[in-house]
Structure 1
């Protein structure tokens, strides 16, 4: 019995109480340390050691690192996607209520037209034949404000819109340097010259009554007229007769040069909205239902597609890119080229565009312009025959004072003095001009200048801010790891001391228990002996 109890006690002690004596406790602790997760920098983002234990909860380090990475990604995306261009493209598309569309439909810019007339100072002598050349005297300017607008707009599903143009002119006396519309000069009789030109193509029965009427009324090619009569026309017997004998020729009862140039009553136009290509918004898709002008042959001379009417030019212009400009009064689309010089206009950068060299050449220098010769007959360089654009009127267009024209033209008249700085045409293309209204100017300054600067600042702020947050998180983790390792070493030393004390306590407890068992066994034996 005693041996059995001793064996049981030894088995029990070997499992439960003799770990310290046999060195098993130390080996078990070592194995446990090897099996458990070790402390690391990555681990510090999710856990924090506290007195040798790990507590799981959200960490500021992880949050800062995540925010830093997000900011860096946003900075890279802003540089790649360019938010400024996204906003700019969105603004360019024409739609009802759109900001750029409303500016195009009714431009708030004051557009002024300066008209200079040439008074024939020797008209009587020239008509009598005593003077070989006409003598011109330039008078003006007569300034008119053009109230440009696009009316009756209809949007189509193919990315275009239909509109009827409106260009009424209002005389600005305070800007006309003292000139008045009732000033009288010797000027060409447009009605007589036009009727004579048209009648010359008809048979004798048509020409005879016209010739009799001209002789009876003593109408002459050069006559006294007011400035307004010459520009906007007045009722005459000739125009009334023209309506009677030539009903298919004209539908108006007065003939004025500017009045015919600005006659848009029956015109309609189609423009791109920018849905398919933002850069083309506000540019011509067709005029009078066709992308080509009927009076010219060949794409080079007749094409007006992608041209601007001056309200809005093409967007995202590249270096050396040419632009097209079309106005009905010009009877053609003019190509404009960059001069390579940039200018600052009201705080904004603008590029200077001019009409291409020899633009009014009729094939003499540039063979492509041969199609501007009407019915195979070419005028001198610098003149373009626009008879078919003005109801058969014998009219040719040129630059002022025959600038950039055949020098022989200047030998036929007296008083013209071409000057490139005064008589050449150019455009400063950007979103603003010197006379933009304050509110509109500030708006364009924000879109084209400040928003672009803000975009760059935001890009650098995102990158720098994200990098700083990420760096701060890494430094914070590094310091946390250093402090944790130090505290862990101290904790291990304390654990060694506590383990040795615990083993000594266990040994004392075992000895006391063994002694108690022996005493108890001895008492039992004595009791049995007494009973026996």
Structure 2
């Protein structure tokens, strides 16, 4: 039994891994599949907008932009995987359906609030024309004069997020060739994202290889974005942030893919955490140099195919994924970025990790996300173009527009209860069974030793109670004589 206990202690972890692998793999009809298809959570998106309060003074007098952070404007989300199709290579293809519902009770303001923000379509067009022929820039200035297009627009929060008619986009729809037209008719930072997305995702189910569980195999049928100069930078193989391969350690580098990030974002271990339901986990955050310039981190050169100059320290140039609009991504309040970016404007408080750092808490054994806050800021890199009078006084500046906090605070109680059971039960069972077998083996050994001791004692008593008789010399001689054969009579007579 003790030997069995030792063997069990060795093979039990392997048995538990086999069970976990089977249970978390995506199989149609399983509980895990149901949670993955329609997550039993209600994520919240918090939106913060930088309202420009001195647009005229900035344009006419060269004053620093004065910004007032408005929000949060809170949206409740529902996520669902639709158009699901299992493939023969242990992958599954699907589309993501996200529904956003504004929550006035949780928000600090209304969707009808008016805000003044940079005119993204216009400033994108003028920045792109910086290196074009001069007559094209002059023509653009005349068109903007006729259409009364200005560098800043006043729109509602709802319009800024979900779309409004822009005269420049409307003009482009009529004059730009069909194969070069933008895929939308309105401008909005989240335009087209409320509903079923058009992108096809193909991820590994984990059935054949658990180490790839939840990782993206293809995005719209491609293994890469097609934007960056190396396979390492261009790959789409990352998680969507909800599930990861199991058996995560503190040395694991988690990878998240989001097409709006225009890259796979690495995450590294930061600290141990305990989430709702007393479920332990690891917190992962982006490394401090994730948006560093190639001057500091040479491996980042692949994200700057046209540089130098490259994106400023702490920002990421996502223009190739945003129809060449000069969009720079950063963390909120320019967290981990060059301080001069924040100092170029007035009204943004110093960044704080607790409020502005992106993080994900995961359960390391099963790779399930327990809690997450995806925090990203959208900025516009504006260039001065002297031939376009509307922006002739506009300095080169990274203009912050908006930042988002998207994620979940906790999982439902029924999910955390099962997770807690799955975490606690295997070691308890292993300890109990191994200990039980060891104890039984110990008593069996003691019993066996006791039996051997009693048997030896009985044998000794048997020898002592039946001693061999002591024989005299006379008895020995008599015995010897009795055993000898009598003499042959014939031989005696002859003699």
- TM-score under structure 2 normalisation? 0.77
After superposition, the Cα gap between the structure-2 partners of 1:310 and 1:461, relative to the gap in structure 1 and judged at 3 Å, is same
After superposition, the Cα gap between the structure-2 partners of 1:251 and 1:112, relative to the gap in structure 1 and judged at 3 Å, is same
1:187 to 2:117 alignment: yes
Aligned equivalents of 1:261, 1:163: Cα separation in 2: 16
Q: Match of 1:413, SS?
A: coil
CA displacement, residues 82-104 of structure 1 (integer Å, 9 cap, x when unaligned): 23222112212221122323222
1:368 to 2:286 alignment: no
* 2:167 corresponds to: 237
After superposition, the Cα gap between the structure-2 partners of 1:475 and 1:359, relative to the gap in structure 1 and judged at 3 Å, is same
Match of 2:410 among 435, 447, 468: 435
* 1:125 corresponds to: 57
After superposition, the Cα gap between the structure-2 partners of 1:173 and 1:75, relative to the gap in structure 1 and judged at 3 Å, is farther
Unpaired runs of 5+ residues, structure 2, are 372-408, 470-495
* 2:76 corresponds to: 145
* Aligned residue-pair number: 420
Q: Match of 1:147, SS?
A: strand
**Matched-pair contact (CA < 8 Å) for 1:163–1:269:** yes
Report the aligned-residue RMSD.
3.0
Shift of 1:488: 9.9
Aligned equivalents of 1:120, 1:166: Cα separation in 2: 33
* 1:318 corresponds to: 249
Aligned equivalents of 1:280, 1:254: Cα separation in 2: 39
After superposition, the Cα gap between the structure-2 partners of 1:228 and 1:447, relative to the gap in structure 1 and judged at 3 Å, is same
**Matched-pair contact (CA < 8 Å) for 2:204–2:215:** yes
**Matched-pair contact (CA < 8 Å) for 1:75–1:460:** no
Aligned equivalents of 1:204, 1:408: Cα separation in 2: 32
Aligned equivalents of 1:235, 1:201: Cα separation in 2: 28
* 1:406 corresponds to: 338
* 1:8 corresponds to: none
Match of 1:337 among 247, 257, 268: 268
Greater CA drift, 434-443 or 76-85 = 76-85
**Matched-pair contact (CA < 8 Å) for 1:75–1:462:** no
Q: Say which structure is richer in helix.
A: 1
What does residue range 465-476 of structure 1 map to in structure 2 within 5 Å?
465-476=440-451
If you compute each CA radius of gyration, which structure gives the higher value, 1 or 2? 1
- TM-score under structure 1 normalisation? 0.72
Q: Match of 1:231, SS?
A: helix
1:462 to 2:442 alignment: no
Aligned equivalents of 1:85, 1:462: Cα separation in 2: 22
**Matched-pair contact (CA < 8 Å) for 1:249–1:391:** no
**Matched-pair contact (CA < 8 Å) for 1:104–1:282:** no
Q: Match of 2:165, SS?
A: coil
Greater CA drift, 202-211 or 219-228 = 202-211
* 2:21 corresponds to: 89
What does residue range 147-296 of structure 1 map to in structure 2 within 5 Å?
147-176=78-107, 178-196=108-126, 211-246=141-176, 247=178, 248-259=180-191, 265-296=197-228
**Matched-pair contact (CA < 8 Å) for 1:110–1:435:** no
Aligned equivalents of 1:310, 1:320: Cα separation in 2: 18
Aligned equivalents of 1:488, 1:440: Cα separation in 2: 71
1:308 to 2:239 alignment: yes
**Matched-pair contact (CA < 8 Å) for 2:229–2:305:** no
Match of 2:425 among 450, 454, 463: 450
Aligned equivalents of 1:403, 1:410: Cα separation in 2: 9
Unpaired runs of 5+ residues, structure 1, are 1-68, 497-532
Greater CA drift, 229-238 or 206-215 = 206-215
Q: Match of 2:191, SS?
A: helix
Q: Say which structure is richer in strand.
A: 2
**Matched-pair contact (CA < 8 Å) for 2:99–2:195:** no
After superposition, the Cα gap between the structure-2 partners of 1:365 and 1:198, relative to the gap in structure 1 and judged at 3 Å, is closer
